[in-house]
Amino acid sequence: MRLVSLVRTAVLPVLLATGFASAQLVNGGNFDVIRVGKVGITQGKVDSLTKMLAQQQTKGNADKLTADQMKQVRWAVIDNLVGQELLKLEIKKLGITAPKSKVDSLVKLFKSQYPSEDAFNKELRKTGATMAMFRERIEQQLASETILEKKFPYPKDPTDAEIAAYWELNKNKVSVNDTISGAQIFVKIPKGASAQEIADQKDMLKGLAAQVRTGKATFAMLAAQYSDDPSAKKTGGVMSKFTAKSEGADFAKGVANLKVGEISAVFQTKDGLHIFMLTEKNDGKMESYKYQIEYILRVNAEQERQLKIKNYLDTLAKSYKVQYLNKDYTPSEAIGGN
């Protein structure tokens, strides 16, 4: 699959925004490069959305993408636009509508991302859209998700039996050694700090670990914000493939009993106070690889689902006719392509 899965909710804000941007496109980009039924998709619309999505994917560093990487973003954009148009036609044919309560909830969610309703409305006006148009786009997205989820339900979590079976097939491929990987949040203890000051620092670290465990924040985000390790702002506190004893006896003791996916209690070394989240342990025991196996099985299941969606869209493309009019805007394995 490409950078963005077909008709994926994660790109909805970008799709909504560029869906209204046609009036702002330069004249040179206003000719169709794709047609879905009677609907044309312009070069300008694809280029605009590609730029926005690349910025979103790279957190503002799209200029660092190679030409081939940008092409993959463009293919993902085209897949989404073509897929949405095909689903729109099928939704109309089947008479599917999105519940008003869900539309209201999603509108509220988008508005909450702005400091005020006035700020939201100002941004909406920049795109040349009205609230009615915005709601219509959301309704279309929700209806698309409804039809796809009904036909292709999201994969269930891997079972213990599936995890064990994957391990049996692949256990001979793992390297067994003393290395581990993970991430830490480290805070220095000021010279002459009182027992109460140290206790307060420990409580702060316990609170950060609790935020990660309850899903309120990611470990990397908190490491970048709170760790006294100067590299943490860039790395999120990541420590890759090292031996615990190389960090000293106190560090090794602090992480000794961790299982993959767990966060340590607060422990102290000569450098300061630490919490450590273990993400990899190469000891050859299945439980140490369970976290990775679950991830692999989830990815595989979602890829299979995406392939089924692609086949379904290919079928719709035969009914509603998709035409690619420019080779530079014809993805490899294009929806409805020959």
- Does one domain contain both 42 and 142? yes
Considering the domain boundaries, does residue 59 fall inside one? yes
Percent of the chain surpassing pLDDT 90: 70
CB 41 within 8 A of CB 292: no
Tell me the CA distances in angstroms from 283 to 31, 147, 215, 241, 260, one per residue in order: 59, 45, 28, 12, 11
| CATH number, position 39 | 1.10.4030.10
Task: From 181, 172, 170, select the one nearest 258 (Cα to Cα).
Answer: 181
Dihedrals φ, ψ of 237, to 5°?
80, 10
Number of domains in the chain: 2
The mean predicted confidence, pLDDT, of the chain is 88
Supply the range of the domain harboring residue 144: 9-156+297-329
Burial of residue 226, with CB atoms counted within 10 A of its CB: 0-12 exposed, 13-18 middle, 19 or more buried: middle
- Does one domain contain both 45 and 140? yes
- Does one domain contain both 266 and 301? no
| CATH number, position 276 | 3.10.50.40
Give mean pLDDT, residues 28-51: 89
What does the alpha-carbon distance between residue 215 and residue 219 come to, in Å, rounded to a whole number? Answer: 10
* Confidence label for 29 from pLDDT (cuts 50, 70 and 90): low
Q: Tokens 């940008």 correspond to what residue? A: 70
CB 244 within 8 A of CB 251: yes
What tens digit of pLDDT does each residue of 74-122 get?
Answer: 999 999 999 999 999 999 999 999 899 999 998 898 888 889 989 988 8
What tens digit of pLDDT does each residue of 196-236 get?
Answer: 999 999 999 999 999 999 999 999 999 999 999 999 999 99
Considering the domain boundaries, does residue 290 fall inside one? no
- Does one domain contain both 279 and 301? no
Q: Is the pLDDT of residue 19 over 80?
A: no
- Does one domain contain both 97 and 39? yes
Q: What secondary structure does DSSP assign to 145-196, as a single string?
A: HHHHHHHSPPPPPPPHHHHHHHHHHHGGGS--SSEEEEEEEEE---TT--HH
Considering the domain boundaries, does residue 168 fall inside one? no
What tens digit of pLDDT does each residue of 272-328 get?
Answer: 999 999 999 999 999 999 989 999 999 999 999 999 999 999 999 999 999 999 999
When mean pLDDT is compared across 33-42, 123-132, 154-163, 205-214, the lowest value belongs to: 123-132
* pTM score, whole prediction: 0.74
- Does one domain contain both 309 and 196? no
Q: Beta-carbon neighbour count of residue 294 at 10 Å?
A: 16
Instruction: Tell me the sheet residues that pair with 182.
Output: 239, 278
Considering the domain boundaries, does residue 167 fall inside one? no
CB 255 within 8 A of CB 244: yes
- Does one domain contain both 133 and 205? no
Considering the domain boundaries, does residue 108 fall inside one? yes
Q: What is the pLDDT of residue 74?
A: 94
Considering the domain boundaries, does residue 166 fall inside one? no
- Does one domain contain both 274 and 187? yes
Considering the domain boundaries, does residue 148 fall inside one? yes
- Does one domain contain both 25 and 152? yes
What does the alpha-carbon distance between residue 83 and residue 90 come to, in Å, rounded to a whole number? Answer: 11
Q: Is the pLDDT of residue 28 over 60?
A: no
